[in-house]
Amino acid sequence: MSLSLEGKSALVTGAGTGIGKGIACELARRGAKVAIHYNASDAGAKDTQRRIEEFGGMCMTVQADVADQQQIIRMVDAAAAGLGGIDILVNNAALQLNIDWLEYTEELYDRVMNINLKGYWQCMQAVIPYMKHKQAGRIIHISSVHGKRPTDFDPVYCMSKGGIKMLGRESAIELARYGITVNTIAPGAIDVGKFKTTHKELDRKKFPLGRVGLPADVASLVCYVASDETSFMTGSTIRTDGAGMLM
């Protein structure tokens, strides 16, 4: 199998639904042992587990609120114990409220930032000791094209995604000495079952390839970044959006 991840252990946050589900399944398909994180989507995490076990993959589920540091530590320790360490962290769990500036309260602002940005940082803090022990590791952040291009539907979400990009750059410098790489993937529009418009109806002026992305499009890129093929790539942000940002 190309880009085999046999012998690797991965933790994927937000893997009960959407992009995270696709990432967890593809990592497992390529041979990695996977910890499927979820917060409230217990049924979704079990579905991810079922899909992986159907093709003979190895996985486990771990529950945590990634806005809470103590729950993150518990999650990471459980994943490391169950998988025999953590070689790959995919920070994917995120909250997107799709509300305007004036609708945001301080509480809502804090919730989005605590999950989307502080949660990524604290998940990193929890896994780094395991990676330092091996002097190797892959940390992959799932951001968004809206880390660069403003939205007209959720300014705080957009701010958090911009912060993720800089988190990846700064941590890449500091963690390089331990053999740990940190890279960011910035998807464009991804169909996770919420698109009302069919792909045949999409405007090619906004979607040059005539379709939106699929979780599998992000997952295949994650597997490449997680592989030994990218040992010299760190601090990078890779956009996967079907050229949507160019329009």
Across 84-99, average pLDDT: 96
Q: Which residues lie closer than 8 Å to 225 by C-beta, 6 or more apart?
A: 138, 140, 183, 185, 233, 238
Q: Tell me what percent of the residues of the chain surpass a pLDDT of 70.
A: 96
Please give the share of the chain, as a percent, with pLDDT higher than 90: 81
**Is the pLDDT reported for residue 92 higher than 90?**
yes
- Specify the CATH number of the domain 9-246: 3.40.50.720
Does 157 participate in catalysis according to the annotation? yes
Is 80 exceeded by the pLDDT of residue 197?
no
**C-beta neighbour count of 211 within 10 angstroms:** 16
Quick one: average pLDDT of 133-152?
Answer: 89
Q: How confident is the model at residue 3 (pLDDT cuts 50, 70, 90)?
A: confident
Residues 20-50: tens digit of each pLDDT: 999 999 999 999 999 999 999 999 999 999 9
Please say whether the beta carbons of 182 and 139 come within 8 A.
yes
Quick count: other Cβ atoms within 10 Å of Cβ 227? 18
pLDDT for 148 equals 76
User: Can you tell me the distance from the alpha carbon of 155 to that of 99, in angstroms, rounded to the nearest whole number?
Assistant: 8
Candidates 38, 120, 130, 157; catalytic one: 157
**pLDDT range class, residue 1, cuts 50, 70, 90:** very low
Question: Which position has the token pair 């991810």?
Answer: 48
**DSSP sequence for 13-36:** TTTTSHHHHHHHHHHHHTT-EEEE
Nearest of 10, 50, 5, 23 to residue 213 by alpha carbon? 23
The pLDDT, as a whole number, for residue 73 is 98
Write down the mean pLDDT value for the chain. Answer: 93
Domain boundaries, given as residue ranges, for the chain:
9-246
Confidence of residue 196 (pLDDT cuts 50, 70, 90): low
The string of pLDDT tens digits covering residues 54-91 is 999 999 999 999 999 999 999 999 999 999 999 999 99
In sequence order, the 6+-apart residues with CB closer than 8 A to the CB of 219 are 19, 22, 23, 25, 26, 27
